[in-house]
Amino acid sequence: MKSKNRLFAHSAVKYITPFILGFLAFALNSCSTSPSQKNTVPTLVTADAPIFDKRFREISFQDLNLENFWAENETQETREPIPINNNTFADLTDKVKDGVVNIYTLRLEERTIKFGISPNDLLPIKIPILSTIFEIIPFQVPIPFQSQGMSLGSGFIINEQGYILTNAHVVLNALDIQVLLSDGKKAYPAKIIGIDRLTDTALLKIEPDRQLTVLPLGDSDKLRMGEMVLAIGNPLGLRHTVTSGIISAKERVSPQANDKFAFFIQTDSAINPGSSGGPLINLYGEVVGINTAIVSQAQLIGFSIPANTVKEVMPLLVLGHAERGWFGLKAIPLSIEEAVELNYNGEDALVIEEVEKGSPAEKSGLKPKDIIVKFDGQPMKKFLVFRRKLLGLMPGKQIRMTIWRNGEEQEITSTLVKREPLEDQPGF
């Protein structure tokens, strides 16, 4: 295996011929562009494998301090607009391109072969009724087997120590990962700090031998429909390709049912296989999203993971935890009709629909028709912001809720617990 890894690392340095190798990688196994495919791929390489960096595994959530883990620009409440001319995108690209990396992986894949001979293969001609019967009867048995394949993707640097954000599906089941910086002169071996398949995010680590260009994370909540953005990535192996577009929509639920707990930015900036994991950048040079998927049946409909979602799940990525805390309730935005029925005069609240038996929610005394007014002291101004915060809650996290019941407010305190199976499930 060591010789194979050395060969792979050596070949990664030669990616200065991206057309040839990019096409080869795409033909072998390009990164997925279907959200449903991302979530149905089995986990073949576990978190105990050598490809995972376990340096933070012994740190508790309470002791974790990520205050300076990623960069953010200091912004005022209102920003001056960016003047647009023929060099605006070129100047912005020069500013951020060195912070974008290409990711090449050697990974384990599960395939199936059919073993056996169908009688139809032995007949000189097909007999209508008999051939149909032979096709229905499973003479050929599918047998699963594992093989190795190449995959490509993109990512971007978030701090000077060599931490890189990308998509989970770019590095899922990886046996070896090589990261190529913008100059293409050297491939750096990378390890996985953490993967979160629910939000399709992953955190990698390289050991840099030079100063790196860091891309700051922006505030994706402040994006506006129609705002101009750039996407930089490695589409089809064409290194460091820049495409421009706009924010087509915000808070999109993916067309795939498996992604119903995550909300995306929709953009018409071209995202192609190999672009997955690359940054979506606003005109201030900030990463506002991670490009993750396209709708294959459409043109110029791409999805990006909002930067603020990434910030919420960063503790899970750093600690390498895939599980989320479980509370055991179902809540939806409070309608005007329900507010009148429950004699509630406020705004921006949730109403509890269901409380699971034996859950921390039930033990804390919550009941259906209770109205959640505040969560951890913060008013419920936006349901999607509340849902996003749940993505980053881990077992052992203590939460405080203010509820409205029978005409008065009450304080509820509880602790999230771990429930099996918990992989790819939301916090509540």
pLDDT single digits (tens) 91-115: 999 999 999 999 999 988 876 666 5
User: Which residue intervals of 137-199 are DSSP H helices?
Assistant: 168-171
Tell me which of 217 and 239 has the higher pLDDT. 217
Q: Report CA 241 to chain centroid distance, whole Å.
A: 21
| pLDDT tier for residue 144 given thresholds of 50, 70 and 90 | low
**Are both 198 and 114 inside the same structural domain?**
yes
In a 3-state reduction of DSSP, which class is residue 428?
coil
Q: Could you say which of 32, 154, 176, 200 is catalytic?
A: 200
Condensed to tens digits (0 to 9), the pLDDT of residues 54-76 reads 999 888 888 889 989 999 998 76
- The pLDDT of residue 278: 95
3-state secondary structure of 195: strand
- pLDDT for residue 86 is more than 50: yes
Beta strands 201-206 and 187-196: pairing type? antiparallel
Tell whether 304 and 282 lie within a shared domain: yes
Closest CA to 311 of 246, 389, 379, 377: 389
Q: Is 53 a catalytic residue?
A: no
407 within some domain: yes
* Top-confidence residue, 40 or 88: 88
Query: Residue 334 carries which DSSP code?
Result: P
**428 within a domain of the structure (yes/no):** no
**Catalytic residue (one of 154, 169, 176, 248):** 169
State the pLDDT confidence band at 43, using cuts at 50, 70 and 90: confident
In angstroms, the CA 296 to CA 89 distance is 27
| Ranges 3-12, 122-131, 241-250, most confident | 241-250
**Is 200 considered catalytic here?**
yes
pTM of the predicted structure, to 2 decimals? 0.80
The answer to whether residues 359 and 311 belong to one domain is no
Residue 169: inside a domain, yes or no? yes
Residue 12: is its pLDDT beyond 60?
no
Residue 249 and residue 352 share a domain: no
Q: Where are the beta strands (DSSP E) in 297-423?
A: 302-306, 329-333, 350-355, 371-375, 378-379, 398-405, 408-415
> 322, 348, 375: which is the final residue of a domain?
322
pLDDT digit string (tens) for 275-324?
899 999 999 999 999 998 776 666 778 899 999 999 999 999 999 987 78
Instruction: Indicate whether 220 belongs to any domain.
Output: yes
Is 426 a domain residue? no
Give yes or no: residues 211 and 342 share one domain. no
Question: Same domain for 248 and 378?
Answer: no
Q: Are residues 285 and 383 in the same domain?
A: no
Instruction: Provide the residue range defining the domain that includes 291.
Output: 1-322
Same domain, 109 and 214: yes
* Rounded Cα distance, 335 and 333, in Å: 6
Q: Is residue 422 part of a domain?
A: no
pLDDT at 229 > cutoff 60:
yes
Q: Which CATH number fits the domain that encloses residue 361? A: 2.30.42.10
Q: Is the pLDDT of residue 49 over 80?
A: yes
Look up the CATH number of the domain holding residue 115: 2.40.10.120
Note whether 28 and 154 are same-domain residues. Answer: yes
| 92 occurs within a structural domain | yes
Domain endpoint, select from 299, 322, 345 = 322
pLDDT value of residue 142: 64
Kindly name the residue from 276, 304, 359, 364 that is annotated as catalytic: 276
423 part of a folded domain: no
Residue where one domain finishes, among candidates 322, 344, 361: 322
Q: 264 and 394: one domain?
A: no
pLDDT of amino acid 127:
56
CA distance 347 to 330: 19
308 shares a domain with 336:
no
253, pLDDT greater than 60: yes
Q: Looking at the 3D structure of the chain, how many domains does it have?
A: 2
Nearest Cα to 351, choosing from 14, 343, 359, 30?
A: 343
- Verify that 356 and 315 share a domain, yes or no: no
Q: Where are any strands of DSSP class E within 302-341? A: 302-306, 329-333
For residue 353, is pLDDT > 70? yes
Task: Give the distance from CA 144 to its chain's centroid.
Answer: 28
- Cβ-contact 368, 355 below 8 angstroms: yes
Q: Is 335 a catalytic residue?
A: no
Give residue 123's pLDDT band: very low, low, confident or very high (50, 70, 90): low
**Residue range 331-350: average pLDDT?**
88
